[in-house]
A = this chain, B = another copy of it.
Amino acid sequence: MAGSIGLTRICLLQATNNNNGAHLNYERDNIRNMKGYVSGEQPERPDIIKLNTNENPYPPTPAVGEALRGIHIENLRRYPPPTALPLRQALADLHDIEASGIIVTNGGDELLRLLLATFVAPDEKIATASPSYSLYEVLANAHGCTMVNYPLQADWSLPVDFAERMNADGIKLCFVVNPHAPSGTLVNVETLGALAAKFKGVLVIDEAYVDFVDPSLSYSTLPLIAAYENVMILRTFSKGYSLAGLRMAYGLGSRSLVDPMQYKTKDSYNTDLIAQTLAKAAIEDQAYAAATWQKVRNERTRVREALVTMGFEIPTSQSNFLLARVPAEQSAESLYLALKTAGILVRFFNVPELQDRLRITIGTAEENDRLLHSLKGLIAAPGKS
């Protein structure tokens, strides 16, 4: 379409001329000045090995397929359950909490946006410990509020006196992604509890990758939502349940946080009937999902060890990706490009604090083998990367 000036475009230009010749700009100032979110590349080519956007390498449970075949399209004629109550009840059973403490959203993006829309006025400030998920800043810009970045410590642990500094700065809401992206490191529950207790704003713990945490760590922030009214936990079906294409996530928290979003600020029917049905089928097969998580953990250990042997420096990851600092004589960007040429996509972030690193999603054993094989060749060949 680009490059062709069709009839519509010509009419539009005429219309613009009718409007006194000026191309009109109706955007709010903050929208005009902001940049949109840039997601990882999503190539159409099926032969590409895609290790750049942290999807689960295994398909969803066959129970999702059965649920799909059980959908009667006649039921699509009517509006879906507005607050996804059947799914919320299943989630409540899974987590042993009340359904009233759960909000189901159209992907995690919606929950993050709702948190700003509901609890932060456009002239107020939010925070994160940086580097972090780049969407947070995009959402802040779209909302018109200010994002304050507090740098993480060198070992990726939270900033010293984080709560005190945020309170002093009047921060209304803080996003902490745990396990952390892009490093994969995990902050423990005690640290988060202490943060929640001291921080005067809303603490959002974005657990998009929590399913990949080693179960031996007994990591669970669920006690925090019972103990602290200001804590909201984000969970998603995109990664752990292999359903990124379905756009389903949920928030767990006190009714002080859930109710205003559930009954006031979310779109009236924010998730559709099919997505609600399939998501319910997915969480009801915990055994299948847990098996995929364990396979990812096993591969995570294997890939990390192989990369460390090659000279990469990688913090311990509790997620389904590794943040790998490339060997001293290598360029992360060149390796990213060379891998892309070889049909393997990983993520390179062109920001100062991450310029010597690649973020690599854990794939299937075969995909990981191909990655390791390619990297070995690239690193061995002098001058090629």
**Docked-complex contact B64 and A76, CB < 8 angstroms:** yes
Q: Is A39 interfacial (CB-CB < 8 Å)?
A: yes
**Docked-complex contact B26 and A230, CB < 8 angstroms:** yes
With A16-B229, A98-B6 as known contacts, state yes or no: A31 contacts B264, CB within 8 Å: yes
A102 to B190, CA, bound (A): 48
**Docked-complex contact B59 and A74, CB < 8 angstroms:** yes
By beta carbon, the residue of chain B nearest A23 is: B256
A257 to B80, CA, bound (A): 29
Q: Is A162 interfacial (CB-CB < 8 Å)?
A: no
Q: Is A147 interfacial (CB-CB < 8 Å)?
A: no
A28 to B69, CA, bound (A): 43
**Docked-complex contact B76 and A60, CB < 8 angstroms:** yes
**Which residues between 249 and 287 of chain A lie within 8 Å of chain B, taking CB atoms?**
254-257, 260, 263-265, 267-275, 278
**Docked-complex contact A260 and B110, CB < 8 angstroms:** no
Binds B, one of A115-123, A209-217, A296-304, A334-342: A115-123
Q: Which of B56, B229, B278 sits near A77, CB closer than 8 Å?
A: B56
- Shortest Cβ distance from residue A189 to the other chain B in the assembled complex, whole angstroms: 15
**Which residues between 3 and 57 of chain A lie within 8 Å of chain B, taking CB atoms?**
6-9, 11-12, 14-16, 18-19, 23-29, 31-32, 34-37, 39, 42, 50, 53, 55-57
Q: Which of B15, B98, B245, B278 sits near A79, CB closer than 8 Å?
A: B245
- Shortest Cβ distance from residue A116 to the other chain B in the assembled complex, whole angstroms: 10
User: A362 to chain B: which residues have CB within 8 Å?
Assistant: none
**Docked-complex contact A76 and B24, CB < 8 angstroms:** no
User: A144 to chain B: which residues have CB within 8 Å?
Assistant: 121-122
**Docked-complex contact B107 and A269, CB < 8 angstroms:** yes
With A1-B99, A36-B264, A110-B267 as known contacts, state yes or no: A256 contacts B26, CB within 8 Å: yes
**Docked-complex contact B64 and A98, CB < 8 angstroms:** no
Q: Is A106 interfacial (CB-CB < 8 Å)?
A: yes
Q: Is A109 interfacial (CB-CB < 8 Å)?
A: yes
Q: Is A380 interfacial (CB-CB < 8 Å)?
A: no
- Shortest Cβ distance from residue A271 to the other chain B in the assembled complex, whole angstroms: 7
**Which residues between 75 and 118 of chain A lie within 8 Å of chain B, taking CB atoms?**
75-82, 97-101, 106-107, 109-110, 113, 117-118
By beta carbon, the residue of chain B nearest A255 is: B12
What are the nearest 7 A-B pairs in CB distance? Answer: A11-B226, A76-B245, A245-B273, A109-B267, A247-B272, A59-B74, A36-B263
- 24 of the cross-chain contacts (CB-CB < 8 Å) are A11-B227, A12-B227, A12-B229, A15-B226, A18-B197, A24-B256, A25-B256, A26-B118, A27-B119, A28-B121, A29-B121, A31-B265, A32-B260, A42-B81, A53-B78, A68-B71, A68-B274, A76-B244, A78-B244, A80-B247, A109-B268, A109-B269, A245-B274, A272-B275
Given contacts A16-B229, A35-B264, 18 further A-B contacts (CB under 8 A): A12-B229, A12-B254, A12-B255, A14-B227, A19-B229, A23-B229, A28-B120, A32-B260, A37-B268, A76-B278, A77-B243, A78-B245, A79-B245, A110-B267, A121-B144, A245-B273, A246-B273, A274-B278
- Show the binding face of A for B, using Cβ within 8 Å: 1, 6-9, 11-12, 14-16, 18-19, 23-29, 31-32, 34-37, 39, 42, 50, 53, 55-60, 62, 64-65, 68-69, 71, 73-82, 97-101, 106-107, 109-110, 113, 117-122, 135, 142, 144, 172, 197, 201-202, 223, 226-230, 238, 242-247, 254-257, 260, 263-265, 267-275, 278
